[in-house]
Structure 1
Amino acid sequence: MSTKIVRSVEWAYPVPPVSREVREATPGIDEGKPPILFVPGFGHGAWAFAENWLEHAAARGFPAYALSLRGHGASGSAPKTTLRAYVHDVTQVAASLPRRAVLIGHGAGARVVAGALARYPAKAGVLVTPVLGGWQMAAAVAARNPAATVPALFGGRLRPGRSALFGRELPTATARGYASRLGRAAALAQWQLLFAGAPEPGVGRPPVLVLGSPNDRLVPRSALNRAARWYGGAPLMFPGMGHDLMLDARWAEPLDAILDWLDKGAIQEF
């Protein structure tokens, strides 16, 4: 399958500009490693990665950045935005970084990263508990946690509870604090996610790693397997953790696995 070079829709109907919140953490010494751009899922902002992953990645020599998609966090409001606009935000921020970046997306942000990989020559991609869209996945997610997800099928807000987002090891007060910070994605973007087809191939076919948890109450194991197979691999699993791996009690384990994967050759091969 070839990568599209000319995208007439994007030329004819440009995405409206918006202010973007980008948080960052940089290493004390530049080791020449590629920057990492973290992209949160729907309802989350850059804060979700700033809690733990940004500083930890920087401590291991990776310049680390986290973007709030438009309408999320401290980025500009965009109540009628689209998935294409989210992808545009990611590609624009990635292109502004000093070196070719590694794109890491969480939840529905993984779908946004998949779209960005088809437009931006990333060093690598990582999909964390990915929600890649389509009716098949929507049905599976709704069946696992209907109270949290069914309202979103009708343009409402996702309302995942503590047990859906986190494992049992995270203190209840901490989990409730994180859950209270969740916002909402644009209704149109949520609808578009339902009808999303298979992701386009990445520019240059960069390596892509898929991570998840068998205890995730939002994304079933079958969806993780399908996502990983699409990119030619198998998912890396972290039992006992919830959907928000970057905020859960053992948050360092999945991040160290990602950074080890990058250090051990993924980025050198592309």
Structure 2
Amino acid sequence: MRSGLLRFEDWTDPVPPVEREVVSLTADARADLPPMLFVPGLGHGAWAFAEHWLPQAASRGYAAHAVTPRPGGDLRAQVHDVVQVAASLPRQAVLVGQGAGALVVAYAMGRYPVRAAVLAAPVMDGWPTLGAALRTNPFGTLPALFGGRLRLSRKQLFGPEMPAEDAQRHLDRIVARPRRELVTHDPAPRPVGDPPVLVIGSPDDRVVPRTSLDRTATRYGGAPLLFPGMGHDLMLDVARAEPIEAILDWLDKTLGDQGTS
């Protein structure tokens, strides 16, 4: 999917409409803060943020929303959905994407002028990610190469301190069927308006190699903010409060420096 052809494709081959699942916490939202829209990774839904990160964002005064990717939707459809949901919010939004959801956010930034963006454990480099998956979880990954279901493992998604029963509860909710385009996609377009972008991750992530994390952060003009000991699913792991509090602290400082409206 080439970014330069995206709008042309939308005219000639429009994305089919779909009823989107959006989970929202807005009761305590402050009028001077932008809404936040969280975009989950492969096989995850809005539920992945609803337990912890949405309530923490809402407790800091942000209107917090999370969208579930449409079933079977390709990258173009997922980008379309994120842009449409963001555009429906009353104010210019902050987008937060995790895993493959970070790739969706990166593409969406080429079409929607975000207030700021956060790429958490971003799956941006398909081949290194595939290689890491084959090394860490070969039996769960190989069937997906031939059209089967990707079965993610506890070791891939969580740190060693994650209780087995909690890990299994989350794994049971994940239904992942990766698409070839997650490996073969073109680089994401340049963001509209040069917004501030924060890249976060873990040096112990078994899905996103550290070299990929560094490349993504460099592309957006910084270095990654690291959370050692955590797995790929930063929003569900044992120390999940640390990344979201760091994100919110960064947003408070960044929006303060920009001047809130």
Instruction: Give yes or no for TM over 0.5.
Output: yes
Deviations 1:110-130 (A, max 9, x none): 111111010100001111111
SS at match of 2:70: coil
1:245–1:58: structure 2 CA closer, same or farther, 3 Å change rule? same
1:152 corresponds to: 144
Runs of 5+ unmatched residues, structure 2: none
Which amino acid is 1:30 matched to? R
Give the aligned partner of residue 195 of structure 1.
184
Q: Which residue of 1 aligns with 2:203?
A: 214
Aligned partner of 2:36: which letter? I
Rate the CA distance shift 1:19–1:251 in 2: closer, same or farther, 3 A.
Answer: same
Whether 2:114 is the aligned partner of 1:122: answer yes
Output the CA distance in 2 between the equivalents of 1:266 and 1:234. 19
Which residue pairs with 2:85 in the alignment? 93
Do residues 180 (structure 1) and 172 (structure 2) align?
yes
Residues paired across the two proteins, number: 257
SS of the residue 2:45 aligns to: coil
Change (3 A) 1:136 1:18: same
Distance of 1:202 and 1:232 partners within structure 2: 12
Offset at 1:156? 2.4
Q: What CA distance in whole angstroms lies between the structure 2 residues aligned with 1:267 and 1:151?
A: 48
Structural RMSD (CA): 1.9
| Structure 1 residues 121 and 268: alpha-carbon distance in aligned structure 2, compared to 1, 3 A threshold | farther
For the Cα contact (< 8 Å) 2:25–2:64, is it kept in 1?
A: yes
Report the Cα offset of residue 31 of structure 1: 4.1
Sort the Cα spacing of 1:67 and 1:260 in 2 relative to 1 into closer, same or farther, 3 A.
same
* Stretch moving more, 174-183 or 27-36: 27-36
Counterpart of 1:34 in structure 2 is 34
Instruction: Answer whether contact 2:137 2:153 (CA < 8 A) is retained.
Output: no
Q: Which residue of 2 aligns with 1:236?
A: 225
Q: For residue 229 of structure 1, report the CA deviation from its aligned partner.
A: 0.8
Q: How does 1:69-80 map to 2 (within 5 A)?
A: 69-71=69-71, 79=72
What residue is the counterpart of 1:19 in the other structure? 19
The answer as to whether partners of 1:133 and 1:196 remain within 8 angstroms in 2 is no
| Counterpart contact for 1:106–1:127, Cα < 8 Å | yes
Structure 1 pair 106–6 and aligned structure 2 pair: CA distance change class (3 A): closer
Deviates more, 1:253-262 or 1:160-169: 160-169
Give the Å deviation of 1:26: 1.6
Give the letter aligned to residue 173 of structure 2: R
Q: Structure 1 unaligned segments of length 5 or more: list them.
A: 72-78
- The question of whether the paired residues in 1 share the 8 Å contact of 2:128 and 2:212 is answered with no
Deviation string 1:21-66 (CA, Å, 9 cap, x unpaired) is 0001124252420000000001000000001011110000110000
Partner in structure 2 of residue 245 of structure 1? 234
Match of 1:261 among 227, 231, 250: 250
1:167 CA displacement: 1.1
Q: 1:82 to 1:5 in 2, by over 3 A?
A: closer
